[in-house]
Amino acid sequence: MVDANTIMQWLDKVPDPEIPVISLVDLGIVRDIQWQDDTCVVTITPTYSGCPAMYEMEQSIIQTLEQQGVKAQVKTSLSPAWTTDWLSEKGRQALQNYGIAPPKEQSIDISGISRRSGPTVTCPLCHSTQTRVISHFGSTPCKALYRCTQCGEPFDYFKAH
Ligand SMILES: [Zn+2]
């Protein structure tokens, strides 16, 4: 039987279908790994409910483990809900390098949500904080579209939630 750490290392190679530079482990959605007889049961929490990439993620997990000779099953757990706090440091760095500003505030910071101007977001290209929101919805519902007033480039911001 394979231990959970090894399973996690394998899953760390499974990219997020929406943002392929970060793995499902970096995204923080892998919640639990347990063995039921000869089947490895992986519990994941979707980044937000109704996430269209969920099915794809499940299939990737099952395929990856099967390639290692492990029979796998994926369970979905909605509670506690995923928050951007679960993103790993490596994941945040990868987002930044990819040109997506990683979530800034802690999701529990209610004041950040109600503030009309939103959080101070750093431009992933020139690292200027002179940025402003263009659209609260970017290429996917979990991102917002920002523009840097320093270098003029638009970029995605991974919203904290
Ligand atoms: Zn910039």
CA of 150 to the centre of ligand 1 (A): 5
**Range list of β-strands (E), the chain:** 30-36, 39-44, 71-76, 100-101, 131-135, 143-148, 154-158
Query: What value does the mean pLDDT of the chain take?
Result: 86
Amino acid 115: pLDDT: 45
CA of 124 to the centre of ligand 1 (A): 7
Q: Where a domain ends, among 25, 41, 76?
A: 76
What percent of the chain has a predicted confidence (pLDDT) above 70? Answer: 87
Domain limits at 153? 89-158
pLDDT digits (tens, 9 = 90+) for 56-95: 899 999 999 999 999 999 999 988 888 888 999 999 999 9
Would you place residue 158 in the very low, low, confident or very high pLDDT band (cuts 50, 70, 90)? Answer: confident
More confident residue, 47 or 123: 123
CA of 120 to the centre of ligand 1 (A): 13
CA of 130 to the centre of ligand 1 (A): 8
pLDDT digits (tens, 9 = 90+) for 105-118: 655 444 444 444 55
Q: Which CATH number do you get for residue 50?
A: 3.30.300.130
User: Is residue 30, in this structure, part of any structural domain at all?
Assistant: yes
Q: Are 37 and 7 in contact (CB under 8 A)?
A: no
d(CA 106, CA 89): 14
Which segment of 20-29, 44-53, 120-129 scores lowest on mean pLDDT? 44-53
100, pLDDT greater than 50: yes
More confident residue, 143 or 3: 3
- Give the end-to-end CA distance of the chain in Å, rounded to a whole number: 36
User: Is residue 137, in this structure, part of any structural domain at all?
Assistant: yes
Do 94 and 130 lie in a common domain? yes
